[in-house]
Amino acid sequence: MVNEDVLDVEAPRSVDEVVVLDYGGQYSQLIARRVRELGVYSELLPHHVGAEEVRRRKPKGLILSGGPASVYAPGAPALDPELLELGIPVLGICYGMQLITLALGGRVEGAEIGEFGRSELTVREPGRLLADLPREQKCWMSHRDTVYEAPPGFTALASSTASPVAALENVERDIYGIQYHPEVVHTPFGHEVLQRFLLDICGCDGTWSAASIVEDQIARIRAQVGTGKVVCGLSGGVDSSVAALLVHRAIGEQLTCVFVDHGLMRKNEGEQVISAFRDRFQIPLVAVDAEERFLTKLKGVTEPEAKRKAIGAEFIRVFEEEAAKIGDANYLVQGTLYSDVIESGGGTGAATIKSHHNVGGLPDDLQFELVEPLRALFKDEVRAVGAELGLDERLVWRQPFPGPGLAIRIVGGEATKDRLDLLRDADYIFQDEIRKAGLYRDLWQSFCVLPDVRTVGVQGDERTYGAVVVLRAVTSDDAMTADWARLPYDLLEQIASRMINELRDVNRVVLDITSKPPGTIEWE
């Protein structure tokens, strides 16, 4: 029986898989990503799924992630001892190593001084895990409890500035542990440690890639849909574009794409979407002008989740109407990504940060069965699939854009036509200058926010009371974490100057320098 708390994602068929159990660590998603980058498919599962669920997946190996708790704290995530008896290699990272040590008779104690950030690692006995690595190296630590003695039968491989046992192994039992984090860039030889575990110890072939799942997903789509008719909500973003192309590759004319112009898109995007998919890819496309419908639904709505849900529900209603015209369409394509599933609380213990349009904003009376071919992929992997399918480079590298569009970037106020047009024009100026500076591909996202705030200014010797535009630009690998982008001052000056001069209602431009965490990328 499948555990109901497991993220509802199916692994590609006939590939090596390594399961990562999440004990709440801030880098847990990054571990799964690093494993995939090494050519091994990986999924992140809640720590409590149990040995039976892991066994069912038949992985080649198991990784226990780090976590914020002390192994001795009441209610701290515990280790199911059967996980160490599955007959597959196990690697514990940070908290995961401490759990292994405690379970097998080693000594873990709370240290007087924690070890956070860069630390010096000394390899005393390379063993199998650390073979051929420098004796002295740097690593990234994040812990307060410390392993003082390895369990009986284990070899202590290394120590660090504040950890007597910073790595250990028992080759006969195929159990390994490291106190530091190999998945972060601050650990220079972390890539080699993960590679050793995955390829040499687990025996994975390292041939998986995001592009390699195309044929697998085509087979899944055909099996799910059969001869049924399918509709896809085509927004023009990379997620829906890749999902549409993948489904079209699988079932051809059974798919009809529906592009709903809800009046919440960026400038000129509607025309670009229609041109690319109807003209170039020859995919059956219905374009619907529904701006008035959505503006009516958003009238008086200021709360962000209410906006998301109103837009999501109306989106589906438009689909239902178009599907009725198509006749007997029972399936709806969604560009849901793995990060959407995780952030929307796809497993017990995962906090719902916000309801994604692709996941949490759908009505309970949904009339379609969902087809989600990208559900197992991170954003950069979706781009790889898009390139494999021949998607235009400009679309492949288009920055993420929320399903509810500009409505959620009008913060604290109603999404009226005037405000949307103002935000659209401001965003156009921002994107134009970012592209001219050659920085578009360097940024994960760059966009404007329009708060429901007016400020005093002086323009042409006159007092003004105008709108504030917030600039938001971040760098990221997968949107799970993000850092604010250090844009050049002269570029920021040029952007602000254009906005204030070209947009009559704007008299102030400010910059958001908040990273994620603690903030989110979007404001709402």
| Residues classed as catalytic | 94, 181, 183
CB 522, CB 406: distance < 8 Å: no
Element (H, E) at 53: helix 51-57
Distance of CA 120 to the CA centre of its chain: 31
Location of structure tokens 């844009």: 487
CB 164, CB 208: distance < 8 Å: no
From the list 206, 213, 208, the residue with the least C-alpha distance to 388 is: 213
CB 351, CB 24: distance < 8 Å: no
Token reading at 209: 């890639």
b/e code 203-220 from CB counts within 10 Å (16+ = b)? ebeeebbbebbbebbbeb
∠ CA(11), CA(15), CA(21), 5° rounding?
55
Nearest-angstrom CA–CA distance, 45 and 296: 41
Element (H, E) at 41: strand 41-46
CB 473, CB 486: distance < 8 Å: no
Token reading at 264: 């919440």
Nearest-angstrom CA–CA distance, 256 and 225: 13
From the list 39, 44, 86, 37, the residue with the least C-alpha distance to 64 is: 44
Nearest-angstrom CA–CA distance, 165 and 179: 8
